[in-house]
Amino acid sequence: MFQTFIASANTGTASPTRAGSSGGPGVRKGRWSKEEDTHIRRDQWRSKEEDTLLIRKGQWSEEEDTLLRKCINQYSPVKWSQVPKLAGLNRCRKSCRLRWVNYLDPSIKRGSFNEDEEDLIIRLHKLLGNRWSLIAGRLPGRTANDIKNYWNSHLSKRKVNVEQRILEPIRPKPVTLPQNWSWLRMKKQGEAEPIMETKVPDGEEHDQWLRMINDSKHDPENYYTLNDPMASNQHADFGFECVYGVGEEESNVDAILQGDGLLSDIKLWNDSEVE
DNA sequence: AACGCAATCAACCGCCTCAAA
DNA sequence: ATTTGAGGCGGTTGATTGCGT
């Protein structure tokens, strides 16, 4: 089915113009050409078992896609290390996995990102930085690779803009909140710049907010002191968990997203918006 | 039509973590 | 305690595509 090629025993390379990791004069470097790619060459990701094989690289053919789809559908859940063998593919496990998770998985959403998704990516990137898989986890049907590519090709162009609005990813840290509770202005400790603005919710959402705060009061892990922000004009020292919900980082993010209403009014802002 | 440049994105690379041996 | 294998991740590359000249 695939071309075979006898590799050099020393270098393991399939092309006479290529060498092993040590390289050397006259040796071609950089991306493998299409022509070279028709040869089957070594794969650095491979396991010991795979080491005995000559693994294909480069663009996937329709035939390979079909084999991989068939294999996953038939054997799922399956160990990726077994996929090449089961599928009859001369690809390494990692290549198979990547092809599936980034392209073949039927749950993957194709097409351009809409405004909502874009907005969500910006907000999540502000919170999480370049943790693409976490971000992808909150955009159904989108892969980490797609989001990363989209960020790098589209959103990073607006980086200057974004950076004016977002000073840094939010990290749990104690802050002092001002007396004006119609909105909260949080400041980075020791710095003057406010990093975000949000409104304290009212009505039922306010009750939810207070419950969350009260619950967290009794959590010995919390490092902040707490006053009821709506009950008085006192200052209160908070950790960001207080705003986002107490727990692991992920659940904090969930709190932001699920608590729409509680926190949907999170607003990125620049200096011109500061009172 | 031909060329050059920029943008896009699939795929590769190297590293990390974790579990099992 | 150490080694090994597997899965997963973010960064990067380079082929392809699109667009302007």
**Residues of chain A above pLDDT 90, percent:** 0
Backbone dihedral angles phi then psi of residue A186, each to the nearest 5 degrees: -100, 140
Domain residues for A210?
175-273
- What is the per-residue pLDDT across A27-62, written as a single tens digit (0 to 9) for each? 333 333 333 333 333 333 444 444 445 678 888 888
pLDDT value of position A257: 37
Structure tokens at A167: 């000073």
Domain assignment of residue A89, yes or no: no
Q: Are A46 and A85 in contact (CB under 8 A)?
A: no
Instruction: Say whether the CB atom of A97 is under 7 angstroms from strand C.
Output: yes
**Total structural domains within chain A:** 2
Instruction: Say whether the CB atom of A34 is under 7 angstroms from strand C.
Output: yes
CA distance A89 to A75: 15
Residue nearest to nucleotide B11 (CA to C1'): A58
Domain assignment of residue A39, yes or no: no
Instruction: Say whether the CB atom of A49 is under 7 angstroms from strand C.
Output: yes
Structure tokens at A91: 């690809």
Distance from CA(A30) to C1'(C14), angstroms, rounded: 8
Domain assignment of residue A69, yes or no: no
Domain assignment of residue A13, yes or no: no
Domain assignment of residue A20, yes or no: no
- Three-class SS state of A87: helix
User: Which nt is closest to the CA of A96, judged by C1'?
Assistant: B11
Segment A174-181 shows an average pLDDT of 32
Single out the residue in A165, A183, A199 at which a domain terminates. A165
Distance from CA(A48) to C1'(C1), angstroms, rounded: 24
Domain assignment of residue A139, yes or no: yes
On whether both A120 and A146 belong to a single domain, the answer is: yes
Instruction: Say whether the CB atom of A44 is under 7 angstroms from strand B.
Output: yes
Nearest to A87 by CA among A61, A58, A52, A107: A61
Domain assignment of residue A107, yes or no: no
Decide if pLDDT at A207 tops 70.
no
Domain assignment of residue A150, yes or no: yes
Structure tokens at A83: 């996929």
- What is the per-residue pLDDT across A4-14, written as a single tens digit (0 to 9) for each? 222 222 222 33
On whether both A132 and A218 belong to a single domain, the answer is: no
On whether both A188 and A260 belong to a single domain, the answer is: yes
Of A45 and A176, the structure prediction assigns the larger pLDDT to A45
- A204 confidence band (pLDDT: 50, 70, 90): low
Q: Which of residues 60-79 of A touch strand B (CB under 7 A)?
A: 60
Single out the residue in A165, A193, A226 at which a domain terminates. A165
CATH of the domain at A158: 1.10.10.60
Distance from CA(A57) to C1'(C14), angstroms, rounded: 14
User: What residues pair up with A184 in beta bridges, in sequence order?
Assistant: A198
Decide if pLDDT at A115 tops 70.
yes
Which of A263-268's residues contact partners 24+ apart within 8 Å by CB, and which partners? Answer: A263/A198, A265/A198, A265/A199, A266/A123, A266/A196, A266/A197, A266/A198, A267/A196, A267/A197, A267/A198, A268/A122, A268/A123, A268/A126, A268/A165, A268/A166, A268/A196
